[in-house]
């Protein structure tokens, strides 16, 4: 893995950046890489040792004490910031809470354990609200010694420039369709339906997570219908949207996930491939924010999905114009 080797070489050099922005499409292994790096640093805190200097990967044995502690969420020198369950609703908060982000100040200010490194993973920085992003920025501006922040990010264009400028960016590329198919088949424990897995992998844009979503129920067929509507933007067919809303009716999380994932893929492609037009990028970023916040509300409060479909395609049509 070229990206893993880049991280390993930077660590061995003894001049390891205090913050990394691991960016790329959702579901291609960015968080997995962040955890691999965190385990390696905490298991091998001295980069000058022969073991680190001769390492060919960031692999840490599953029975290593650090690996066992990380798996049990009991590694005191590792802090993971992610959306958590709202105890009142039983569902995830829409954002990473700013109070959780502020914990990084206390975390990095305390004395590290036996390894003398402290590592924080933010999964993902896309899910920080403005207050959370500003709280994280304060930590990035005054990084403690022997501290590492690993920021998982699905679209670099959506990260505050002040945060991007304080991180070393490492862009991860999507996997090949063949690799996605192998990984999806292994995750399912059933590689018998080769044609269906291959079709999902081909539509997944290099994301194993997306392929697994498409393999639930009729999610792949649903995705193909949504793509056909997206290709017609900014034109919108109300009858087709009514039909799509009817298909999303109910509480099946797989259908809503497939809808949202396909829409986010469309938006991500425009953020990545669009000409450097600030106004156009701002429209796409605004649509992304509206879509995902509205979808969170629908999921959290069990709202009707048909109005969501019409609202989403209205926002996408605006983003596609001009």
pLDDT single digits (tens) 271-304: 776 666 778 888 888 898 899 889 888 887 788 9
Domain of residue 98, residue span: 2-171
Q: Where are the alpha helices (DSSP H) in the chain?
A: 2-12, 30-43, 50-53, 65-71, 98-109, 130-141, 161-164, 177-188, 194-203, 208-214, 219-230, 238-247, 253-273, 278-301, 306-320
Q: What would the pLDDT profile of 74-93 be if each residue is shown by its tens digit?
A: 999 999 999 999 888 888 88
Tell whether 36 and 78 lie within a shared domain. yes
Tell whether 291 and 142 lie within a shared domain. no
Tell whether 189 and 204 lie within a shared domain. yes
Tell whether 129 and 156 lie within a shared domain. yes
Tell whether 269 and 257 lie within a shared domain. yes
Tell whether 157 and 199 lie within a shared domain. no
Would you tell me how many other CB atoms lie within 10 Å of the CB of residue 117? 20
Kindly indicate the confidence band of residue 94, based on its pLDDT and cuts at 50, 70 and 90: confident
Tell whether 16 and 131 lie within a shared domain. yes
Chain-centre distance for alpha carbon 24 = 8
Tell whether 159 and 11 lie within a shared domain. yes
Tell whether 73 and 149 lie within a shared domain. yes
Cβ within 8 Å of residue 33, ≥6 positions away: 1, 3, 4, 7, 22, 58, 172
pTM: predicted TM-score of the whole model, two decimal places: 0.78
What are the backbone angles phi and psi of residue 27, rounded to the nearest 5°? 85, 15
pLDDT of residue 254: 75
Mean pLDDT of the chain: 90
Kindly indicate the confidence band of residue 113, based on its pLDDT and cuts at 50, 70 and 90: low
Q: Are 263 and 316 in contact (CB under 8 A)?
A: yes
Tell whether 12 and 127 lie within a shared domain. yes
Two tokens, residue 20:
């990394």
Of 193, 209, 225, the residue that ends a domain is 209
Tell whether 15 and 155 lie within a shared domain. yes
Tell whether 145 and 36 lie within a shared domain. yes
Residue 50's domain is classified under what CATH number? 3.40.50.300
Pairing status of strand 118-123 against strand 147-153 = parallel
The string of DSSP codes covering 75-99 is -TTEEEE---EETTTTEE-SSB-HH
Structural domains in the chain (count):
3
Kindly indicate the confidence band of residue 26, based on its pLDDT and cuts at 50, 70 and 90: confident
């Amino acid at each position: 893995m070229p990206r893993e080797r880049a991280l390993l070489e930077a660590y061995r050099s003894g001049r390891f950046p205090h913050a990394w922005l691991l960016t790329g499409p959702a579901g291609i292994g960015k968080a997995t890489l962040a955890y691999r790096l965190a385990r390696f640093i905490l298991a091998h805190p001295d980069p000058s040792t022969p073991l680190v200097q001769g390492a060919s990967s960031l692999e840490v044995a599953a029975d290593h004490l650090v690996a066992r502690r990380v798996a049990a969420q009991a590694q005191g020198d590792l802090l993971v910031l992610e959306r958590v369950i709202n105890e009142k609703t039983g569902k995830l908060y829409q954002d990473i809470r700013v109070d959780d982000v502020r914990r990084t100040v206390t975390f990095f200010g305390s004395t590290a354990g036996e390894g003398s490194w402290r590592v924080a993973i933010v999964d993902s920085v896309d899910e920080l609200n403005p207050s959370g992003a500003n709280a994280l920025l304060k930590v990035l501006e005054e990084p403690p010694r022997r501290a590492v922040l690993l920021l998982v990010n699905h679209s670099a264009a959506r990260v505050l420039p002040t945060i991007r400028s304080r991180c070393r960016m490492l862009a991860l590329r999507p996997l090949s369709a063949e690799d996605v198919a192998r990984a999806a088949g292994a995750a399912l424990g059933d590689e018998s339906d080769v044609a269906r897995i291959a079709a999902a992998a081909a539509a997944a844009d290099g994301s194993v997570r997306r392929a697994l979503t498409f393999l639930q129920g009729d999610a792949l067929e649903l995705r193909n219908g949504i793509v056909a509507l997206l290709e017609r933007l900014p034109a919108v067919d109300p009858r087709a949207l009514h039909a799509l809303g009817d298909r999303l009716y109910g509480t099946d999380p797989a259908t809503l996930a497939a809808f949202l994932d396909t829409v986010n893929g469309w938006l991500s492609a425009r953020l990545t491939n669009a000409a450097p037009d600030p106004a156009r990028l701002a429209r796409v970023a605004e649509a992304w924010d509206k879509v995902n916040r509205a979808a969170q509300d629908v999921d959290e409060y069990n709202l009707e999905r048909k109005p969501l479909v019409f609202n989403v395609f209205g926002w996408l049509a605006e983003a596609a114009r001009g």
